[in-house]
Amino acid sequence: MSTPRNLGTNTPPTGTKGPDAASAQPASPKAADPKMAEFKLADPAVIGRSMADIAERSQRIVADWLDRQSRSTQTADPLNLGRAFLEMTAKLIQNPTRMVQAQIGFWQDYVTLWQNTTRRMMGIDPAPVIEPDQKDKRFRDEAWQQSEVFDFIKQSYLLCARYVHDVVGGVEGMEPKTAKKVDFYARQFMDAMSPSNFLLTNPEVLRRTAETGGENLLRGLNNLLGDLERGRGKLSIRMTDPDAFRLGENIGVSPGKIVFQNELMQLIQYAPSTEAVLKRPLLILPPWINKFYILDLRPKNSFVRYAVAQGHTVFMVSWVNPDAALGDAGFEDYMHKGVFAALDAIEAATSERDVNAIGYCLGGTLLATSLAWMAQKGIDRIKSATFFVSLLDFEEAGELSVFIDEEQLKALEQRMQQHGYLEGSDMAATFNMLRANDLIWSFVVNNYLLGNDPFPFDLLYWNADSTRMPARMHSFYLRNMYQQNLLAKPGGITLDGVALDLAQIKTPAYFLSTREDHIAPWRSTYRGAMLLGGKTRFVLAASGHIAGVVNPPEGGKYNHWVNEAKPDSPQLWLEGATELAGSWWTDWNRWVTAKAPKTVPARIPGQGGLPAIEDAPGRYVQVKSGA
């Protein structure tokens, strides 16, 4: 049986002999293994000081938590899980056959696992009963494969997880949305119970504990307390070093000026990098769920820098991080004070009435509603529309839909009424749950069990820089689009007295979706693209909601698919698509440039019809949630 080598231990000090030396080290059947580590003893004085500090900080954290709980109006089951799992249990009782079948399969596999583990101890190397997905990063440490013990723990967990998934997924007769909720939270539970998340069943953590004499656990506890302090008793996991980045200094650094602002947004005009620019300006509408600089993280992966280099005069909307004063702001306010105000400002700055426009995620949904509103009014100022991973048809809106039932919406609306907005941390927690292993549990292991400080990473810095959502707007968005899918229905939504019909939009449109998107599933965005009445180009990129979009040509990391045909079925579109290497950025640039190739001398921000207010990235983006 292979043992301590698989725990990652190191060689004991030379010169130690006899029973005294043996008694000073952990018992092991292979104490002389050259990879066996000395178990380092921690300094008692350090431990004493640390525990005193921990006790004092813990008291403050508990006091903060109790204070918040005393003021909370949240119901006992805000996610409405009790009713969902009760319905599942009732269906299982009515038809227990599937559960019995799953149990039989589970026990057969478990017996095989026991037999295989015994054979491994005898020197035989049988094939595993079950293996983790190739993308699963939880079991990368070699001990999960090389040690019979940890391999058994790993496979036991994977069998249990598969069993739970089979039972939950096999329940017949459940309402589809309830079934999806039960499946989602069952996976959340199984992700939380992974052996990689616990000290005694994670070989990498055990190895680090032996090497440091437990100092990693003290550091981890301090990291945990720090995160609880930042969240005032609510866990706020640090995903990256927040002090490693400064907006306008090493992130969001594309040069430009704020040339317009109102209470809802600032408008950035970026400085040109070419002597001549395209006559038609480019307006980018990012989502206000997140901040705009996802499109301008670093020069090497900045979509802004790329677009400017291709000769576009780029204008970017930087949404305000709303406070209670904007709690009554509605979707129509984002249209009038966002889209239409930006169009007027661009015309004042460049004398150009026509623009090309891009909407990212929720910004794309806003772009479509604005185009539908303008179509009914006979206004034609946006000459081409690009949609980055944007939902227009919310019938199958992915796993976010598990949060959108009537009980949860009422609880959310009640919570928003306390402040006039949804706190950014609540929104961030929701999105993190969609990728819990990557965005929650990996940091629990790294920060709290291994005692590491998070690595500086620009994308995770942006991800943690959450924004609030105005109460009235957010309620309208969730109820009318996610819950009732009214935007996809002609006349289903009325904004500022105008009934919207997406089929009236004749603007040429470019839809970019990503194959592994867990927020805006590409099959749903495809169906949304078919709702528009004009000519559309649909392009599918590899990877997900962020990485598939932020994919510069220089990196060449992810490929993309194109298909000139527009069959009704997204699957038929994919089957007939051509896969192309590299970034979709060049395809988009060819498409949008061909719409209006005429050029003019480069425009300098602040030297046109609008004076510069301040340097990019501006003040609005600097406002943190909770500040």
Picking from 529, 531, 524, 486, the residue whose alpha carbon sits closest to that of residue 504 is 531
3-class DSSP assignment, residue 1: coil
Please give the torsion angle defined by the CA atoms of residues 239, 244, 247 and 253, in that order, rounded to the nearest 10 degrees.
-110
Q: How far is CA 32 from the centre of its chain?
A: 47
Query: Is 125 exposed, middle or buried, given 0-12, 13-18 or 19+ CB atoms closer than 10 A?
Result: exposed
CA–CA separation, 203 vs 248, rounded Å?
A: 42
Q: What is the separation of C-alpha 603 from the centre of its chain, rounded to a whole number of angstroms?
A: 36
CA distance 369 to 255: 31
Query: What single letter denotes the amino acid at residue 459?
Result: L
- 54/154 Cα distance (integer angstroms): 33
Hunting for tokens 């525990």 — which residue is that? 51
361 labelled catalytic: yes
Contact 108, 80 (CB under 8 A): no
Q: Is 468 in contact with 625 (CB distance < 8 Å)?
A: yes
Q: At what angle do helices 215-230 and 44-71 cross, to 10 degrees?
A: 30
Distance, in Å, from the CA atom of 57 to the CA atom of 64, rounded to the nearest integer, reads 11
Taken in order 579, 581, 585, 586, the sign of the CA dihedral is negative
Phi then psi for 364, rounded to 5 degrees? Answer: -70, -40
> From start to end of 157-281, where are the E strands?
256-261, 265-270, 276-278
CA nearest 51: which of 164, 198, 214? 214
- 3-state SS assignment for residue 82: helix
What residue type is 373 in one-letter code? Answer: W
- Whether a cis peptide bond, with omega within 30° of 0, leads into 287 is no
388, β-bridge pairs: 360, 512
What b-and-e string marks burial along 494-519, b requiring 16 or more CB atoms within 10 Å of the CB?
Answer: ebeebebbbebbebbbbbbbbbebeb
d(CA 166, CA 358): 42
Determine contact, residues 303/295, Cβ cutoff 8 Å: yes
* Strand ranges of the sheet holding 536-541, from the earlier edge strand across to the other edge: 578-580, 560-562, 536-541, 509-514, 382-388, 355-360, 282-285, 314-319, 265-270, 256-261, 614-615
Query: Which of the residues 92, 224, 361, 505 is marked catalytic?
Result: 361
**What are the beta bridge partners of residue 277?**
600
Catalytic residue numbers read: 361
